[in-house]
Every structure is written in structure tokens, then in C-alpha cells.
Structure 1
Amino acid sequence: MYLPLRAISVFHAAASSGSISRAAAELNVTPSAVSQQIQSLETHLGTALMTKVGRGVALTEAGERYFAMISEEIDRIADATQRIRGLRSVTLLTVRATPTLSTKFLLPRLRSFLDGHPDLEVRLNGTNEMTDFAQEAVDIEIRHGTGQWPGVYVEALTEESFLPVCSPAYCAPSSLDAADLQRHRLIYSIKSQVQWPHWFSVARAAPLDPGQRVLFDRSHMAIDAAVDGMGIALESTLMMWRELRDGTLICPVREPPAIRLTTQWIVCPFEHLHKKKVILFLDWLRAERAAWQSAS
């Protein structure tokens, strides 16, 4: 039976990248050549595999099924080819996440993923900029926000608790009532979804007097400032898990109100969920999430 292997490999490249132009650059051919190969494969199969969405492309239902069926086999063929050539097969995984999540949660854990998957190279892009998957070569994003993004796969990373924290040299644990915080310098993370006025309202304390305060536009800066004894920060237990574990941050408030919220979300195009490298990363990330939840 005749198999259009060239067209199959071109389709795999386009489906993996989610872009005709990126597949063309990867294969060192023109975008029109990629389109022609895909059209040839669609004719051979008798069904449409891809459709245009904005500036990019998306898989049809048949395309998703076909990609899922061939992807693992093509990865195995590519790996076997590299091994016969005497080369180590290396695949680049690009992950985008907020600066704080990158610094405080992913980076301390990343070695275990790298050690477990030596054939993967990881590029960790720490930014608050939202990914345009049709234009950017990003495999998966962990996005800060409310989780309301249509047209892409969205999964909650985990629920976080927000606590006032400071260095144990600044205040002793459980030594303050909520109203006492008015007398201290408060550290603000201005992009956080939980702010000090809301915390005081939930704690049923007097309305917040601006008083002494210092403001940062990144949560990891607010966390580090609290560790350095600059004042009291209001932060997520997900972001400061290591500081809480090591005792460099403590909660100075007796019986702080419970404020729980999900602010970090796993986001990617649905077709990326078929990529082996994305599957491996998500499996690892979910295991790390479960370990953190258990320890918490």
C-alpha cells in the first residue's frame, strides 16, 4: 500500500507547531509547499485535516484523531533515525509562566523534570505577557488571571491561600490581631488578585488607613522584601511555599481569615495536548502539584 510519508511528516510538523509558517521554517521549505503537502494528504485520506483560524491553523476533528494516532509513531521514527546517525535526539519544550511562578514554584522543582527527561531541552519564559499561540512558538503557558479564555485548553493549577507574612525577626508568629497591622509597614503586590483592603474587610478590621506602605509590581519582589524584614506582605502560599517551609516567613496574625483563590491556570491550544513533550510536562506538573497540596 502506498503511504505518502512526506506529506504525513509535513502534516505532523504543522499540527505540532499549530502554524504553517513555523512548520515551513522547521522543514526549510516555503509555506505554500507545506500547504500543498497537507492538501495532498487530505486528498489521499478523503477528509479535511486542518482549517484556517485567524492567522494560524487548527485541526479538524478528523485531524485531531489522525494526529493522535500517528504522533507517537513519528516521534519513535525520529528518535530511531537520530540514534542511527549517532546523535542524541533533543526536543525543545517552551514554557511561559509569570515571573513569580517561574522563580518561586517552577525553578526550584525543574531539575527533577530535566533529570527525568534528558532528551528534552526546556526554555522557561518568565513574563506576564499573554501568549499568542498562533504567532509564538510556545508549547504551554501557566497564565495568571480568572481562567476565562475561550478557544484554548484551560486547567486550574491549584487553589491558593493568601496570608499576611513577615520575617520572624520582624514579628513573632501569631503575635498580632488583624487591627494591629495598621501600625506596620504593609507590602503591596499591585498585580495580586487579593489586596490589603479586601483582606481587612474579610478580617472585619477597621478600614485600612494607607499609612506606611511599599508597592511592588511583582509578587516575588514582595515576598523577598518580607523575608528581608521590610514589613508585612499579603501573598499566596503557592508562591512562598519554600519560605514558609524554611521558616524565613511566618504568619504574624492570630487566626487570619481564610482567603482561597485560584489565580494560576495551565493554558495551551487543544492540539498541543497531543504533543509528547507537553504530555510529559503536564504529567510532571500535576505530580508536583499533588506533592505540594499534600505537604500543605
Structure 2
Amino acid sequence: MQPFRAIAVFYHVARLNSITGAAAQLNVTPSAVSQQLKALEEQIGTSLITRKGRNVGLTEAGERYFEMISDKVDGIIQATALMQGRQQQATLVIRATPTIASKWLLPRLARFLELMPDAHLRIDGSNEPVDFTRDNVDLEIRHGLGGWPGLYIEPLTEERFIPVCAPALAAQGTLEVRQLLDMPRIRSAKAQVQWSAWSEAQGLGPAPEARLSFDRSHMAIDAAVLGYGVALESELMVEAELATGRLVVPVARTPLLQVATQWLVCPRSNLRRHRVTRLIKWLRAEAEDWRRTSPANTIDFLK
């Protein structure tokens, strides 16, 4: 019978692809982790881990072994946490920016909880990218343009960036382009599409500087709802405000500025875990449904 301690150490190393990360989670030294791995390999009779400098990977045998034990070890960890009255430690953890978490993910969570009634979910709202060797996060919805080496990345969906304002400021489709640029405008500092790109797509050159600027998109959206100006935002983020009429698109036609800025990100080893793959599959389905029903589908885009 194999000692569970060594098996649990291997499980954490394989999940994080890191000896130091596993050591931090288990509150032991990296050398203790290495000793447990060596003992397990000797007892099984084959190598499970490959090492290249600081990088750690699984051998073919290690991949097979992890597939066989991961669900069982995960279940033991969850059961132990429940018996100790620490159910929150057996949760599925998602990190997302505060805007995508509150504006897009939160309204859809009821369907996920219905799909996985036994799941315990924690949403970690942060703009800081996950360090998967250190942070206890299963999946991240990361904002950016992709290209993070060493991780599994998948675009959530492509978004169109559109000008929006409160209907009291300007009615739907009533403004000319130059009129809009003369209005007070709101800037999301970290948005992947800025007012200059929208103005240049209209053949007007750089746009005048926006009077209000926010480093969080949800703050820019709330400011637009309050009538402080026109914001250039992703249709993904203003879905609810467009659907309820709290925001409108004040120009009759707008350039098609389309880009993927939200990505599903995790270590490839996490894809071996059933609950993570179910979460990804659900997010794909929600993104496809959103694309079919987006309120922005009625907008006349200039291509």
C-alpha cells in the first residue's frame, strides 16, 4: 500500500507543475517534497517527474498515474475539509477582473450552480494575473490580448467596442460622429480599444482627450449610466445596461472594432481535473449563447 502523504505530494506537484508551489501549499520545504517524490517513484518502480532546471513536468507514466489518482485525491481532500468544517477550502476558484466578474459572470452563475449542484464556487475579483505556482486558483478569466507562454489559453469570445451613454444625454442613433466627439467622453484606461482608434476608424484622426478617466471599466460604465459622458466599452460589459435601456448607442452607425480581450487561462495540468473541464465547457456555452443574444446585434456596424 502506497503512503498517502507521498501520493498527495505528487498530486500537488502535478497539478501546479511546480515543486516550490506544492511545497508552499503543503507548508513544507521543497526538499521534503523532492524526498516524497523520490520515495514514491522508488515504490512504484518508474519515474513520474521530469526536471529541467526549475521547470517540472510529468513523464508519460506520471501523466497516466495522475489521471488515475486525481479525482480520488481531490475527493479525499474535499471530504476531509468537510469533516473538519472547512467546506470553503474545497471550492472551485475562478479569478476574473471585477468588471467581467460583476457585469458578465455573476448574472449567469445560477445556471452553473444548477448544472453542478454539489459545486462550491469562489469568485476572486482581481486585476492581478494569477501566479499558478503560488495562487490556489483553478481557472482565470484574464484580460488582455493573449500570448502567455506555458499556459493553456482560449479566447472567451470576440467583443465589439461601442460608444454608449445615458438616454438623457443623447437618444439612440441621434448624433453625428463629430457631435459625439464634442460631447464629454469617458475613458477606460485599461481597455484594449481606445477613443483614438474609434475616431481614426471614422477618418477623423486622433480624438480629443477624454475629460473623465477610470482604471476600471465597471466604474466607467457606472459613470456613463449616471450621465457623465459617453463611454467606449465592450458590448460584453454593457450587456445589461443596453438590454434595460440604461445605456444607448447615440450614433446611427459605428465602426466595427472587434477583438478578443477575455481569455480562459490555466495550467494545462488543470485540464486533467473534471470540474475544471466542466467549468470551461459551461463558459464556452454561455459565451456562444451571449453572442447570439447580445443587444449589440441590432447595431449598424461600419465594416
TM (norm. structure 2) is 0.84
1:32-76 deviation per Cα after TM superposition (whole angstroms, max 9, x unaligned): 443323212222344322244776743334322321232234445
- C-alpha distance in structure 2 between counterparts of 1:18 and 1:252, whole Å: 50
Bigger Cα displacement from structure 2, 181-190 vs 125-134: 125-134
CA RMSD across the alignment: 2.9
Partner of 2:151: 152
The residue identity in structure 2 corresponding to 1:141 is E
Tell me if 1:253 matches 2:260: no
Counterpart selection for 2:233 from 218, 226, 235 = 235
The residue identity in structure 1 corresponding to 2:48 is L
1:4-59 deviation per Cα after TM superposition (whole angstroms, max 9, x unaligned): 55533432233234444554566566554433232122223443222447767433
1:242-268 deviation per Cα after TM superposition (whole angstroms, max 9, x unaligned): 111112111111111111001111111
Could you tell me whether the CA contact under 8 Å between 1:188 and 1:216 is conserved in 2? yes
- C-alpha distance in structure 2 between counterparts of 1:221 and 1:81, whole Å: 41
Could you tell me whether the CA contact under 8 Å between 1:49 and 1:63 is conserved in 2? yes
- C-alpha distance in structure 2 between counterparts of 1:17 and 1:227, whole Å: 42
Give 1:277 deviation, angstroms. 2.9
Q: Percent identity?
A: 51
Counterparts of residues 1-296 of structure 1 (less than 5 Å): 3=2, 6-20=5-19, 23-24=22-23, 31-52=30-51, 57-75=56-74, 91-205=90-204, 207-210=206-209, 213-296=211-294
Could you tell me whether the CA contact under 8 Å between 1:188 and 1:234 is conserved in 2? yes
The residue identity in structure 2 corresponding to 1:190 is A
Bigger Cα displacement from structure 2, 81-90 vs 4-13: 81-90
Could you tell me whether the CA contact under 8 Å between 1:24 and 1:34 is conserved in 2? yes
- C-alpha distance in structure 2 between counterparts of 1:251 and 1:160, whole Å: 15
Could you tell me whether the CA contact under 8 Å between 1:178 and 1:205 is conserved in 2? no
- C-alpha distance in structure 2 between counterparts of 1:135 and 1:269, whole Å: 12
Give 1:86 deviation, angstroms. 11
Could you tell me whether the CA contact under 8 Å between 1:59 and 1:271 is conserved in 2? no
- C-alpha distance in structure 2 between counterparts of 1:83 and 1:216, whole Å: 42
Could you tell me whether the CA contact under 8 Å between 1:93 and 1:139 is conserved in 2? yes
SS of 1:146's equivalent in the other structure is coil
- C-alpha distance in structure 1 between counterparts of 2:172 and 2:272, whole Å: 47
Change (3 A) 1:153 1:189: same
Change (3 A) 1:256 1:89: closer
Could you tell me whether the CA contact under 8 Å between 1:90 and 1:119 is conserved in 2? no
The residue identity in structure 2 corresponding to 1:214 is L
1:96-119 deviation per Cα after TM superposition (whole angstroms, max 9, x unaligned): 112211121112222332344344
Change (3 A) 1:192 1:84: closer
TM (norm. structure 1) is 0.86
Gaps in structure 2 of 5+ consecutive residues: 295-303
1:227-253 deviation per Cα after TM superposition (whole angstroms, max 9, x unaligned): 111111100001111111112111111
Gaps in structure 1 of 5+ consecutive residues: none
- C-alpha distance in structure 2 between counterparts of 1:56 and 1:125, whole Å: 27
Count residues with an aligned counterpart. Answer: 294
- C-alpha distance in structure 2 between counterparts of 1:196 and 1:29, whole Å: 51
